[in-house]
Structure 1
């Protein structure tokens, strides 16, 4: 398979091809489930299209806790099937499908009661490890271990001595969720899927009862009258994989859905690495759920909350109360408390939960459901990031049933994502690659863990333009070449796409990326054909976004935070 390029020309060509002939499967929604569904369909030999109204992973799939995990807390809920399934997927991703993007991460669970708690929690973690190994894909991670208080404080000196009597340490995995989706889309495109972001579905085409396609606005076009170019895309099966927007997109067919999706808001804080002295992540119990402190390069991610959200879905806002909640709970175990001044970044995401009888979102199901509400339409909703591949398989199985023809079975368990092939060999040769490229080995390691074997494409840009080997102003972790590459190869169309998803500058710097914005926009302009007016517009939009987010984080509740966040318009009005 040749790795696909998702540049401006390729996007235009994909829309043209989708409109030219009827597809077997058209997937609506460019998050992890939609991208995974497109890959599943394409690798079964089906002609496949993938549409996303905004940017790849711009919703829930770029705003998660960035963990690939079995869900240790679901063991306590006796949801053994979900945990077993997720642990198998974790093992596949670590060992075969995406070793360049998914990495092991240790977590320390402080014990606060002597005797019974060690037995109770230790039994749960032992079962977790045993289920991982029994899945056949769990041998790559160390098993858990019991620690005394003194040993726990040696690996996590940041903890208050009176906050624990001992601890357990176990392993899970983490990834950059938005980059993972980008790799999924490129992999699907490499197997023949036609993929276009910034392409909004505006309606459903029907012949009698049957759904036969959709109408789409190309949000990067101009129809000459101040509007967008519209087109029709026909497909034998349309898959609705729009997450928290499921009920909204279901409304287009004027049919009552077979289930409802509720949004649960989770917020995360990002603080510098030196604010918490620890060599391991932390997992803490709260009265509502669990709290993670997750290693993230030169930073920590602290999250999450779990509250019902029925306001704007595109830009969920973190309120001052949300931030105080996280700081209060993490400070309950830290010897040196964190303050608002320590917070570099804040982000909020929405979990798509299947609505049940319980009013508490933390009690709603993380299981997924597939429905075929009308002929020609499949709906997939619920689930968790880790099990995206299983969700995709189930969605395509349902679509294939509707095609009524013989189609190959799912093979994505054997399909590595773009950048995975050859990653380990390149990692072993990283010092030689660094010497050849004239970069520090730490730079090459950074590139390999973001791009895998596709790092060679980034280095080729630097070879042709040595100035791209310099770090980006205000965001030293990233090279200028990565900004250009995001537009030429990874489908970035706007400044926000690059600063918030292709890189994580928006949450990893105290200025939230405003110092890097103009240089970044100027680099993008060369690929996307922007003039100075467009550069200025992109920078202005981004600065207004940051200003609105900061203002929302000062508000006391969800309603006022939402109103403040909506003070900044979208780069492309929807």
Structure 2
């Protein structure tokens, strides 16, 4: 039987918080990033009564700011971490073939060779072994060594006199924020109670046992107590903060590593495939944008971050580093003015003996922080499902009658029927009087849930028009849908995560803020003053981020970014929804 998708809306959010206070949950998950949403789905598909709370928004942290890849991790081969690579390659296959074929797809990369003999032996052997490990695991088994002439055919923008050949292979790519959103919707469709803008301020305890959490509703200022047989802390880089609430030393420590990416127009790099090169510190990817053919995503950095966790800031030094590294490969170098968008995310790495975050483990750990409280941390986006399964296994350890994890065979909302719809995209375009390119874009974002978009357009035909301020990339229906079906509560939720307007328009979405606010104001119940506050807050956020990117280092960049607090942080007693 096909799963009936359940909408996550402002109304369902309020109902979920109310339902969480009625009786006792089996599991309460803290955090709605990819691991938290994965844990909620894992628990819900086992038949457990589950609640998930998130202080900001779905995928608001690390899970919307990754490299947009489902990959095994070439760098971990160098560390001889074969188990992590094999596990990630297995998960990549599941995403491509079973769980999210509408959201994840293969993308071809070239590893340009600079010193043919050494690079071909060193890089070729490593990639060859990586390709062999991944054989039959979701992407084409297509490793090829190519010479200089063929390399320049595929990568015409390669630097003359520098690039002397290449190695071709495949990875998997994804829009991480959309994937996490669909993961949360799937959890909700299996019965999980999901609420964003719901911050844990304390744990409920009976003796030394954790029996739930006190939750602050950041949209109303109200506090509620949610009781649960077990609590799972899946808060990523906020793990240590939530452990400190216990008033005792945590049993694991997480160190935040900042990863910065830039977005540039596709025509600035002449290549038919993605690019990957090794730097002194890590690997640098030039990735075809998974949601638009108009851009490249380039990154990443890997530096320790000890400042504000909610708003990691990219500095001028970060941008200079990325430009310098990518320009090693390019005949026509990129310059600052080529950058359309910038985003910075924090990886929650398990702290070890090394002070260099690039050497810390990406493997995950599950610990019992106290009776009734399990903490999951570390890992990487690609292995979120395994992390979620391990966390719920730990939470229900010793509980009779609980089924084992099912998520390896549970498709996300939009996956069922996607292949048939993709083949029928021309017919769908004709039926709904939309360009084929638009229907393809919608299918890659919503899969078979595209029918819900069509329903919105049928009810309000003007929603079938594209936004004038986003270069026609998004329909008005997608903006409305972000609220009615995907739980967006504020402009930043829509412009930075439900869409990617914030990193793919010249003004970072400032002009779109007005148009988007007009579409959702009535749906969200905003009066004129609230609508204006939302626009001003979003524009202040953009200005602060741009100013931070002019600063020379992390500390000055952080100070600049902190000049514009988030819309949820700026709430006060007089108007907590502002």
Q: TM-score range by the shorter chain?
A: over 0.9
- Alpha-carbon shift at residue 510 of structure 1 (Å): 1.1
Q: Deviation string for 1:528-557 (max 9, x for gaps)?
A: 111111111100000000000010000000
CA–CA distance in structure 1, aligned partners of residues 138 and 468 of structure 2: 42
Give the TM-score of the pair, scaled to structure 1: 0.97
Residues 1:554 and 2:566 are matched in the alignment = no
CA–CA distance in structure 2, aligned partners of residues 531 and 436 of structure 1: 37
Q: Deviation string for 1:461-517 (max 9, x for gaps)?
A: 111111111111210111111000000000100000000000000001111001111
Q: Where does residue 329 of structure 2 map in the other structure?
A: 333
Q: Deviation string for 1:307-359 (max 9, x for gaps)?
A: 00000000000000100010111111111111111100000000000000011
CA–CA distance in structure 1, aligned partners of residues 164 and 144 of structure 2: 15
Contact 2:97 2:138 in 1 (8 A): no
Q: Where does residue 408 of structure 1 map in the other structure?
A: 403
Q: Where does residue 166 of structure 2 map in the other structure?
A: 167
CA–CA distance in structure 2, aligned partners of residues 139 and 473 of structure 1: 38
Contact 1:153 1:161 in 2 (8 A): no
Q: Deviation string for 1:221-257 (max 9, x for gaps)?
A: 1xxxxxx111000000000000000000001111211
Q: Where does residue 375 of structure 1 map in the other structure?
A: 371
Q: Where does residue 197 of structure 2 map in the other structure?
A: 198
Which aligned pairs between 1:251-400 and structure 2 lie closer than 5 A?
251-296=244-289, 297=292, 298-400=294-396
CA–CA distance in structure 1, aligned partners of residues 551 and 329 of structure 2: 26
The worse-fitting range, judged by mean Cα deviation, of 201-210 and 152-161 is 152-161
Q: Where does residue 235 of structure 2 map in the other structure?
A: 242
CA–CA distance in structure 2, aligned partners of residues 529 and 400 of structure 1: 40
Q: Deviation string for 1:170-220 (max 9, x for gaps)?
A: 100111111111000000000010000000111000000000000001111
Give the TM-score of the pair, scaled to structure 2: 0.97
Which aligned pairs between 1:420-459 and structure 2 lie closer than 5 A?
420-459=415-454
Q: Structure 2, unaligned stretches of length 5 or more?
A: 571-578
Q: Where does residue 105 of structure 1 map in the other structure?
A: 107
Residues 1:494 and 2:496 are matched in the alignment = no
Contact 2:139 2:171 in 1 (8 A): no
Residues 1:95 and 2:94 are matched in the alignment = no
Q: Structure 1, unaligned stretches of length 5 or more?
A: 222-227
2:40 aligns with one of 38, 41, 44: 38
2:68 aligns with one of 41, 66, 69: 66
The worse-fitting range, judged by mean Cα deviation, of 53-62 and 154-163 is 154-163
- Alpha-carbon shift at residue 524 of structure 1 (Å): 1.0
Residue 163 of structure 1 aligns to a residue whose secondary structure is coil
Extract structure 1 runs of 4+ deviating beyond 3 A. Answer: none
- Alpha-carbon shift at residue 139 of structure 1 (Å): 5.0
Contact 1:110 1:163 in 2 (8 A): no
Residues 1:539 and 2:532 are matched in the alignment = no
- Alpha-carbon shift at residue 141 of structure 1 (Å): 2.0
Residue 397 of structure 2 aligns to a residue whose secondary structure is helix
Q: Where does residue 576 of structure 2 map in the other structure?
A: none
CA–CA distance in structure 2, aligned partners of residues 51 and 341 of structure 1: 40
The worse-fitting range, judged by mean Cα deviation, of 457-466 and 552-561 is 457-466
